[in-house]
Amino acid sequence: MKLKDITLADVNAFTSSTTIYNRGDEYARNGNVQDLTYFSKSDTLIADVTGNYGDYQVEITIKRGELDADCSCPYDGYPCKHAVAVLLQFIRNRKEYLTAAKREVATVSSLEKQLLATSKDFLVKTILDGINASHEFRRHVLTTFEAESNDMMKLFRSQIKEAFPSIEFDEYNIPEIARELRSILKSVEASPAQLKLEVYWAVIDRTLKELNAYGIDDMKLEDVAIVGMQTMTEIFQQMPAKSKSLLKKVIQGLQAHLDVGNNGINDSIAATIDELERL
């Protein structure tokens, strides 16, 4: 399945609630969906949706042949009306968005030619400016050029820590925290396995500490830990002999979180420990 080919039947099958579908339809028809962009290369939809308490960021793609949606709204169900609104808006104006995507590809191609003709000094300055302006771009550049592992982990630990403001602050927005953590994990998808393991464990460990400390019951944050543990286990299964010390550290860490038991996902933690101990 490709996003450019999705139908209303696909959205109906994706949406578990008629109420959510109808609310999403209402949002789409009322113009709540803003700045919707289709990225053909990554087969991704990104948009802002005006909700009851502000604007929410929605990202939709295809994973393992199925629709996958992420929204910064606080709704615990899945999918939310904002994601449905984006899908319906896209389907009803598909030709417009596909045409815009083609123009964007042409623009990028033109930009590539300009960059190739630009001086090295100017490119370096532009990249450094981008690093200072964006955490995500900084991660991308450092992982692309395979910076020293210790330096990379210092950066990732710092950004993981920054993702969690004090729970007493108004800025403590769980959907935004979950989004930032997923962004961090996404940035190491093409990295060496050892770095991926260390980053995944750093995110999982910090998330479980937060869940245990405050007894947070939120699907978005819990999913970061659950999906992270599943992916981390898969990586360990591919290279257990090279990472025995980290494997032992992770098992001990997960057991400590399980012993606290205030996180809401004890079954997932126990299952992960069981799988890792069999490696």
Tell me: do 53 and 132 sit in the same domain. Answer: no
Q: Is residue 112 part of a domain?
A: no
Instruction: State the residue range of the domain holding 201.
Output: 118-277
Q: Does the residue 41 lie in any domain?
A: yes
**Domain edge (last residue) among 64, 99, 134:** 99
Selection from 213, 227, 197 nearest residue 261 by Cα: 213
- In a shared domain, residues 75 and 144: no
Q: Do 87 and 155 have their domain in common?
A: no
Does any domain span residue 225?
Answer: yes
CA dihedral 268, 233, 79, 207 (to 10 degrees): 70
Does this model's pTM top 0.85? My answer is no
| Nearest alpha-carbon partner for 6 in 68, 104, 90, 102 | 90
Read off the pLDDT of residues 106-135 as tens digits, 9 standing for 90 and up. Answer: 777 777 777 777 888 888 888 778 877 777
Q: Angle formed by the axes of helices 18-29 and 81-92, to 10°?
A: 50
Domain-embedded: residue 107: no
- Local confidence band at 143 (pLDDT 50, 70, 90 cut-offs): low
Q: How many domains does the chain have?
A: 2
Q: Residue 8 — very low, low, confident or very high, per pLDDT cuts 50/70/90?
A: very high
- Spatial separation of the C-alpha atoms in residues 150 and 153, rounded to whole Å: 5
**Mean per-residue pLDDT for 240-257?**
87
Same domain? 237 vs 135: yes
Verify that 94 and 136 share a domain, yes or no: no
Is pLDDT above 90 for 270? Answer: yes
CA distances from 254 to 94, 157, 223, 224, 275 (A): 46, 18, 16, 15, 12
With respect to residue 250, please indicate whether it lies within any of the assigned structural domains. Answer: yes
pLDDT higher than 90, residue 242: no
Of 150 and 82, the structure prediction assigns the larger pLDDT to 82
| Mean pLDDT value of segment 9-20 | 92
Query: Among candidates 275, 270, 156, 159, which has minimal Cα distance to 208?
Result: 270
135 and 233 fall within a common domain: yes
